[in-house]
Structure 1
């Protein structure tokens, strides 16, 4: 079985981090090297993005311009995520023979940084040269479920509003309707273990036993 680049996508609090951790532990327990590699990264641009998302630095107050700024920053951080020589995705896969499980990839930029068809073209162009992952697992939850889960966390990021998340969920639906790569849509309201088992079944059916 070759080393895989696996992406987990979904709106905030859909359960991406939980499923990434379960999958990593499963790989490790079956003698496969695996890491979780999230976006934004812990690199210099990723740290800047995190501060901007938490309103800890002055960015751009106008919403449309802020989304454009974030799209540029995420593109630069994504290049670092894939290709840096320390722990870049393709260094891990091709040299270290490690499965890479990413929570978020360019699909998140399309979902979070686009509000109009023109913006979708703009962000798609920024990300057009990035390679496709081996598989995407999209964890789908409703707007109501997302807001309910977010209400349990006192600290909110800039995109964690009802209006924004409604747009994000619709964007995800549009993105994955036309996506040609391997993708499995999962019901994020099912139990954690049931979602995990569906992920494992899909991987076995498409990439062999492990």
Structure 2
């Protein structure tokens, strides 16, 4: 009888170990599926908008510091940097936007689906419960004509590509930038008025020089 009791005791001990293993498997584990966006905080640090595997609603995406992704999603982070031109390109873009006093909008970009990188949250907090930065607002121009929605239009040469980039200030206060072929399609009259205004300025300057 003593021998049987010893065997039961050993079996009970093994059962306890199995329970502990089950607890480890039950931990909340969230998988980084892709990076959708980025922003640069006032302190110069970069945050990334993360889509988590199994959470398809936009409200489930969260903004994560670069340090978090370096620890758990380095491969996906590298892929995103490749798409946007690298970490320095993000910082350079922000610096240029600050110089021209234009508010930078998050640059859209997505990484290919990748489910191999895991991020464990042992506190069990759902990703949607984290608060994204208050300064980030998603806004898109209207689908049709922009003629009646634009307050002012300005243009300058993009030093990087040499293309003419048109800057718009909307009546609702939003600021966006676009290549000229989009402007010609969406608000040709506004662009024509812009050109006419600048031609007049050049003529006035020439008259002043001749005088």
TM-score bracket, shorter-length normalisation: under 0.3
Tell me which protein shows more helix as a share of its residues. 1
